[in-house]
Structure 1
Amino acid sequence: MDSIWQERSLDLCLVPYGCIATGQNVGMIEIVRNAVTIATVQTTQGARNGAFAEDALFEWLKNKCPFQEIHCHSLERFVNSCAGYCVATYVLGIGDRHNDNIMITDQGNLFHIDFGHILGNTKYFLGVVNRERVPFVLTPDFLYVMGRVKGRTSLYFQRFRDTCVQAYLSLRSHHRLLVTLFSLMLLTGIPKLSSAEDMRYLRVALQEECTEDVAREHLLQQIALCEDKGWTVQANWWIHNMIHH
């Protein structure tokens, strides 16, 4: 995905860290330096109730980048990387998106880790309640960084929406490549990818059979849904903080 976007001069400030298997249940993952989890940011800024502190991430970034020019650059990196990972995790159907599975660097690059649940296979509370109530993670604290507070108009948020649309439509134009790559992995033993039917999520997420205008509107609707349901993610993250921190 990053290669597709870079070809179109769309730098979404992703952090694609290296990962290699060296044996059965053994491998190496590249360290991403100067980065912490969103959970760490929340507990540092607002203790266990930090999941509901909408300004926690903004204040953390401001402390890391106190000078105005540097702070503006960090906000731009945050907007671009947040857009990239929103689109990528949506298209791939990445689940289990709690605040210990999302990280941020001191420079403002947001990135996701731990991709154990793909293609719309989500986790449940007590095996009954679906934990994934939004198509991707766009919480009130993320929106606060972009200046999107209580629906207020914001240039950063508008740029975020526009970047998401650009990134999404770029992937749609390569939908055959993405589906082919997943087809090649059908025999690798990945639990959530064992038949051609498992790739149906990918085709639907990319709105494969729709026009570009319909696909654009589809993505904007997903962004609006995330805004509306952001509090449900905050609640999940608060529960996660109470249990694990």
Structure 2
Amino acid sequence: MTLPILEARGLCWGPPRKPDILTDISFSVAEGEVMAICGANGAGKSSLLRMLYRYVAPRKGTVSLMGRDIWLHSARDTARQIAAVLQEQPSDFALTARQIVALGRLPHRTGFATAAIRDAEVISAAITRLDLDRFADHAFGTLSGGEKQRVMVARALAQEPHVLILDEPTNHLDIRHQLELLALLRGLGLTVICTLHDLTLAAQYADRILVLSQGRVLSDGPPDQALSEHHIATAFNVTARVDRSGPAPRFSFHL
């Protein structure tokens, strides 16, 4: 049986000297699978991601990458295999967009000339793939919020990871770039784990959806199962209706 590329088992976490805000979180993600994590504000979505990309250690439980606890990998080895795109964008540091993308190659740096050539090729390909060529040499601080977000995704792609983790990647993007980015993520062939607040986009682009409610897994499965009216109502404390008569589900909500 093939091991999942990423597996969470019994994860619990909370801020120092405070109760757990995530309890007994378990799931596994297969190679090439796109999983969306959904839930109300405060459900623990971003905190869960921080454990998955080795920023914080769980109080209990393990996160395994290809069968090995990520805390037994070095930080550099983890960065070669897991890339993260966060909601918080970095300060300017007077760098250009190209220089920001180039930071993605740091875990792979060896100092050899052949490696430098390879780095330049990967950086250029990531910039082109995110349609950033015309902004590549502009100062990062002069870009719009959406352009900055695309630069950060390009930086993550430059890491050449096996697993790409994104926290609300469609924030700051207009509708066209939201659709383009999610289509791009689906076409990468990577394992993708992202939080999404837009349930329509999650249902359209994710293979699986994990719904969190009050720090626990409420549902985990294909979109039509995970995003049932009952699960949405429970997770978001609303009355939900799902219309599945068309090619994509349509959601409506009422207090």
TM-score, structure 2 length as denominator?
0.30
| Structure (1 or 2) with the greater strand fraction | 2
Using the size of structure 1 for normalisation, the TM-score is 0.31
The structure with the largest helix share of the pair is: 1
